[in-house]
Amino acid sequence: MNKLKIVIAITLIYLASINASSAMTFDRDYLYNFIKSYVEDNVSLPARGKLKIEVSEIDPRITLQPCLLPLRANIPEKHIGRNVNVKIVCPDEESWQLYIPVKIHTIVPVLVTRMRISKGTLLSNANIEIIFKDNGQIRGTVLTNPKVVVGARTKRNLSQGSAITNQNTCFVCKGEPVNIIAKSEHFEIKSFGIALNDGSLGEIISVRNRKSGRVVQGQVNAINQVIINL
Protein backbone atom coordinates (compact mmCIF):
# COMPACT_ATOMS: atom_id res chain seq x y z
CA MET A 1 0.00 0.00 0.00
CA ASN A 2 2.83 2.33 0.92
CA LYS A 3 4.52 1.50 -2.37
CA LEU A 4 1.30 2.41 -4.24
CA LYS A 5 1.14 5.79 -2.48
CA ILE A 6 4.75 6.46 -3.36
CA VAL A 7 4.11 5.60 -7.03
CA ILE A 8 1.04 7.88 -7.13
CA ALA A 9 2.97 10.72 -5.50
CA ILE A 10 5.85 10.36 -7.93
CA THR A 11 3.40 10.28 -10.85
CA LEU A 12 1.66 13.46 -9.69
CA ILE A 13 4.98 15.23 -9.23
CA TYR A 14 6.05 14.09 -12.70
CA LEU A 15 2.81 15.31 -14.31
CA ALA A 16 3.08 18.62 -12.49
CA SER A 17 6.64 19.04 -13.72
CA ILE A 18 5.52 18.30 -17.30
CA ASN A 19 2.73 20.92 -17.06
CA ALA A 20 5.09 23.45 -15.55
CA SER A 21 7.69 22.90 -18.26
CA SER A 22 5.12 23.07 -21.07
CA ALA A 23 3.43 26.24 -19.77
CA MET A 24 4.13 29.35 -21.86
CA THR A 25 5.58 32.41 -20.19
CA PHE A 26 5.01 35.98 -21.35
CA ASP A 27 6.82 39.23 -20.86
CA ARG A 28 5.29 42.69 -21.27
CA ASP A 29 6.71 43.22 -24.77
CA TYR A 30 5.04 40.01 -25.91
CA LEU A 31 1.67 41.16 -24.52
CA TYR A 32 1.99 44.63 -26.10
CA ASN A 33 2.66 43.10 -29.53
CA PHE A 34 -0.09 40.52 -29.02
CA ILE A 35 -2.62 43.27 -28.24
CA LYS A 36 -1.51 45.46 -31.16
CA SER A 37 -1.83 42.54 -33.59
CA TYR A 38 -5.29 41.71 -32.24
CA VAL A 39 -6.51 45.30 -32.64
CA GLU A 40 -5.06 45.59 -36.16
CA ASP A 41 -6.86 42.39 -37.18
CA ASN A 42 -10.22 43.36 -35.64
CA VAL A 43 -10.67 47.08 -36.29
CA SER A 44 -11.91 48.06 -39.75
CA LEU A 45 -10.02 50.74 -41.63
CA PRO A 46 -11.40 53.52 -43.85
CA ALA A 47 -10.19 53.62 -47.45
CA ARG A 48 -6.44 54.34 -47.63
CA GLY A 49 -6.36 54.80 -43.85
CA LYS A 50 -4.08 53.30 -41.23
CA LEU A 51 -4.10 52.72 -37.47
CA LYS A 52 -1.93 54.15 -34.71
CA ILE A 53 -2.33 51.96 -31.62
CA GLU A 54 -1.24 53.04 -28.13
CA VAL A 55 -1.24 50.20 -25.58
CA SER A 56 -1.22 51.39 -21.96
CA GLU A 57 1.57 50.21 -19.70
CA ILE A 58 0.79 47.14 -17.61
CA ASP A 59 0.88 47.82 -13.88
CA PRO A 60 4.43 46.86 -12.76
CA ARG A 61 2.95 45.29 -9.62
CA ILE A 62 1.22 42.64 -11.75
CA THR A 63 3.11 39.37 -12.15
CA LEU A 64 2.40 37.75 -15.51
CA GLN A 65 1.62 34.11 -14.84
CA PRO A 66 2.46 31.27 -17.28
CA CYS A 67 -0.34 29.69 -19.32
CA LEU A 68 -0.63 26.16 -20.71
CA LEU A 69 -2.84 27.27 -23.62
CA PRO A 70 -2.49 30.10 -26.15
CA LEU A 71 -3.77 33.45 -24.90
CA ARG A 72 -7.09 34.80 -26.15
CA ALA A 73 -8.15 38.39 -26.63
CA ASN A 74 -11.40 40.25 -27.17
CA ILE A 75 -12.85 43.74 -26.91
CA PRO A 76 -15.87 43.53 -24.57
CA GLU A 77 -17.32 46.89 -25.69
CA LYS A 78 -20.05 46.55 -28.31
CA HIS A 79 -18.84 49.69 -30.06
CA ILE A 80 -15.15 49.93 -30.93
CA GLY A 81 -14.30 53.59 -30.42
CA ARG A 82 -11.19 55.63 -29.81
CA ASN A 83 -10.65 54.18 -26.31
CA VAL A 84 -11.20 50.47 -25.62
CA ASN A 85 -10.26 47.85 -23.05
CA VAL A 86 -8.72 44.71 -24.52
CA LYS A 87 -9.42 41.63 -22.42
CA ILE A 88 -6.57 39.08 -22.31
CA VAL A 89 -7.53 35.60 -21.09
CA CYS A 90 -5.49 32.52 -20.20
CA PRO A 91 -8.03 29.72 -20.84
CA ASP A 92 -6.38 26.86 -18.95
CA GLU A 93 -7.61 25.34 -15.65
CA GLU A 94 -5.85 27.98 -13.57
CA SER A 95 -7.22 30.73 -15.77
CA TRP A 96 -6.43 34.41 -15.37
CA GLN A 97 -7.39 37.58 -17.21
CA LEU A 98 -6.22 41.15 -17.69
CA TYR A 99 -7.91 44.28 -19.03
CA ILE A 100 -5.51 46.57 -20.89
CA PRO A 101 -6.65 50.09 -21.97
CA VAL A 102 -5.83 50.86 -25.60
CA LYS A 103 -6.14 54.09 -27.60
CA ILE A 104 -6.96 53.63 -31.28
CA HIS A 105 -6.14 56.50 -33.63
CA THR A 106 -7.50 56.22 -37.17
CA ILE A 107 -5.12 58.07 -39.50
CA VAL A 108 -6.60 59.07 -42.88
CA PRO A 109 -5.31 60.93 -45.96
CA VAL A 110 -6.49 64.53 -46.08
CA LEU A 111 -5.93 67.42 -48.47
CA VAL A 112 -4.52 70.43 -46.61
CA THR A 113 -3.17 73.85 -47.49
CA ARG A 114 0.59 74.18 -47.98
CA MET A 115 0.48 77.82 -46.86
CA ARG A 116 -1.88 80.51 -45.66
CA ILE A 117 -4.59 81.03 -48.29
CA SER A 118 -6.93 84.00 -48.66
CA LYS A 119 -10.65 83.80 -49.34
CA GLY A 120 -11.40 83.34 -53.04
CA THR A 121 -8.04 81.71 -53.86
CA LEU A 122 -8.04 79.17 -56.69
CA LEU A 123 -6.81 75.82 -55.41
CA SER A 124 -3.94 74.17 -57.29
CA ASN A 125 -1.21 71.59 -56.75
CA ALA A 126 1.03 74.47 -55.71
CA ASN A 127 -1.02 75.37 -52.62
CA ILE A 128 -2.49 72.01 -51.51
CA GLU A 129 -0.98 68.65 -50.52
CA ILE A 130 -1.99 65.28 -49.06
CA ILE A 131 -0.98 64.41 -45.48
CA PHE A 132 -2.14 61.75 -43.00
CA LYS A 133 -4.14 63.15 -40.10
CA ASP A 134 -5.93 61.79 -37.02
CA ASN A 135 -9.58 61.33 -37.97
CA GLY A 136 -10.61 62.63 -34.54
CA GLN A 137 -9.11 66.03 -35.37
CA ILE A 138 -11.05 66.46 -38.62
CA ARG A 139 -14.29 68.43 -38.83
CA GLY A 140 -16.64 68.42 -41.82
CA THR A 141 -16.55 66.42 -45.05
CA VAL A 142 -12.88 66.24 -46.00
CA LEU A 143 -11.69 66.03 -49.59
CA THR A 144 -8.86 63.69 -50.53
CA ASN A 145 -8.48 63.74 -54.33
CA PRO A 146 -6.42 66.68 -55.64
CA LYS A 147 -7.59 66.01 -59.21
CA VAL A 148 -11.16 66.73 -58.11
CA VAL A 149 -10.30 69.78 -55.99
CA VAL A 150 -7.94 71.66 -58.31
CA GLY A 151 -9.91 74.60 -59.73
CA ALA A 152 -12.18 75.07 -56.71
CA ARG A 153 -12.04 78.28 -54.68
CA THR A 154 -11.77 78.91 -50.95
CA LYS A 155 -14.81 80.42 -49.21
CA ARG A 156 -12.79 81.83 -46.29
CA ASN A 157 -9.24 82.55 -45.19
CA LEU A 158 -7.37 79.33 -44.38
CA SER A 159 -4.24 78.95 -42.28
CA GLN A 160 -1.36 76.67 -43.27
CA GLY A 161 -2.26 73.00 -42.72
CA SER A 162 -6.04 73.54 -42.81
CA ALA A 163 -8.03 70.59 -44.16
CA ILE A 164 -9.82 71.19 -47.46
CA THR A 165 -13.51 70.42 -46.88
CA ASN A 166 -16.88 70.88 -48.54
CA GLN A 167 -17.57 73.58 -45.97
CA ASN A 168 -14.63 75.85 -46.88
CA THR A 169 -14.57 75.47 -50.68
CA CYS A 170 -16.92 76.16 -53.56
CA PHE A 171 -16.75 74.08 -56.72
CA VAL A 172 -19.34 76.39 -58.20
CA CYS A 173 -19.13 79.95 -56.88
CA LYS A 174 -21.86 82.57 -56.91
CA GLY A 175 -21.85 84.74 -60.03
CA GLU A 176 -19.59 82.41 -62.05
CA PRO A 177 -20.51 80.68 -65.36
CA VAL A 178 -21.79 77.13 -64.96
CA ASN A 179 -22.16 74.20 -67.34
CA ILE A 180 -25.66 72.73 -66.98
CA ILE A 181 -26.20 69.09 -67.94
CA ALA A 182 -29.81 67.88 -67.97
CA LYS A 183 -30.03 64.16 -68.67
CA SER A 184 -32.24 61.11 -68.55
CA GLU A 185 -31.65 57.50 -69.53
CA HIS A 186 -32.24 58.33 -73.19
CA PHE A 187 -30.84 61.82 -73.85
CA GLU A 188 -28.66 64.63 -72.54
CA ILE A 189 -28.99 68.39 -72.99
CA LYS A 190 -26.16 70.83 -72.29
CA SER A 191 -26.59 74.53 -71.63
CA PHE A 192 -24.95 77.39 -69.76
CA GLY A 193 -25.96 79.49 -66.79
CA ILE A 194 -24.87 81.71 -63.92
CA ALA A 195 -24.61 80.36 -60.36
CA LEU A 196 -26.92 82.17 -57.93
CA ASN A 197 -25.16 80.76 -54.86
CA ASP A 198 -22.03 78.86 -53.84
CA GLY A 199 -21.99 75.07 -53.97
CA SER A 200 -19.57 72.28 -53.16
CA LEU A 201 -19.57 68.66 -54.34
CA GLY A 202 -22.99 67.02 -54.04
CA GLU A 203 -24.83 70.19 -53.02
CA ILE A 204 -27.96 71.48 -54.76
CA ILE A 205 -27.73 75.07 -55.98
CA SER A 206 -29.78 77.52 -58.04
CA VAL A 207 -28.58 78.41 -61.54
CA ARG A 208 -30.07 80.93 -63.98
CA ASN A 209 -30.11 79.63 -67.56
CA ARG A 210 -28.30 82.19 -69.71
CA LYS A 211 -30.51 81.71 -72.74
CA SER A 212 -33.99 81.35 -71.24
CA GLY A 213 -33.51 83.23 -67.97
CA ARG A 214 -35.17 80.33 -66.17
CA VAL A 215 -33.87 79.42 -62.70
CA VAL A 216 -33.19 75.70 -62.24
CA GLN A 217 -31.91 73.52 -59.41
CA GLY A 218 -28.86 71.38 -60.12
CA GLN A 219 -26.44 69.20 -58.17
CA VAL A 220 -22.76 70.18 -58.21
CA ASN A 221 -20.75 67.25 -59.61
CA ALA A 222 -17.54 68.96 -60.83
CA ILE A 223 -15.79 72.31 -61.06
CA ASN A 224 -18.27 74.86 -62.53
CA GLN A 225 -20.75 72.14 -63.45
CA VAL A 226 -24.17 71.00 -62.22
CA ILE A 227 -26.28 68.07 -63.27
CA ILE A 228 -30.07 67.83 -63.46
CA ASN A 229 -31.55 64.34 -63.50
CA LEU A 230 -34.77 64.30 -65.53
Q: What residue segments make up the domains of the chain, in order of their start?
A: 24-106, 108-170, 177-229
Alpha carbon 192 to chain centroid, angstroms: 39
Please tell me the predicted confidence (pLDDT) of residue 4.
Answer: 46
Q: In whole angstroms, how far apart are CA 47 and each of 106, 110, 139, 166, 183? A: 11, 12, 18, 19, 31
Question: What radius of gyration, in Å, describes the C-alpha atoms of the chain?
Answer: 31
Give CA–CA dist 108/205, Å, rounded.
30
Amino acid occupying residue 192:
F
Please tell me the predicted confidence (pLDDT) of residue 79.
Answer: 64
Q: Check if 108-170 and 177-229 are the same fold.
A: no
Please tell me the predicted confidence (pLDDT) of residue 18.
Answer: 41
Q: Which residues of the chain have pLDDT under 50?
A: 1, 4-21
Please tell me the predicted confidence (pLDDT) of residue 126.
Answer: 96
Please tell me the predicted confidence (pLDDT) of residue 95.
Answer: 86
What is the CATH topology of the domain spanning 108-170?
A: Type Iii Antifreeze Protein Isoform Hplc 12 (3.90.1210)
Q: What is the mean pLDDT of the chain?
A: 86
Polymer length of the chain: 230
CB 108 within 8 A of CB 138: yes
Using the CB atoms, write b or e for 1-16: b if 16+ within 10 Å.
Answer: eeeeeeeeeeeeeeee
Non-local CB neighbours of 121 within 8 Å, separated by 6+ positions: 127, 153, 154
Cα dihedral across residues 31, 33, 35, 38: positive or negative: negative
Amino acid occupying residue 145:
N
What is the CATH topology of the domain spanning 177-229?
A: SH3 type barrels. (2.30.30)
pTM greater than 0.75 (yes/no): no
Closest CA to 112 of 96, 134, 95: 134
Q: In whole angstroms, how far apart are CA 168 and each of 139, 156, 158, 203? A: 11, 6, 8, 13
Q: In whole angstroms, how far apart are CA 145 and each of 45, 109, 116, 131, 150? A: 18, 9, 20, 12, 9
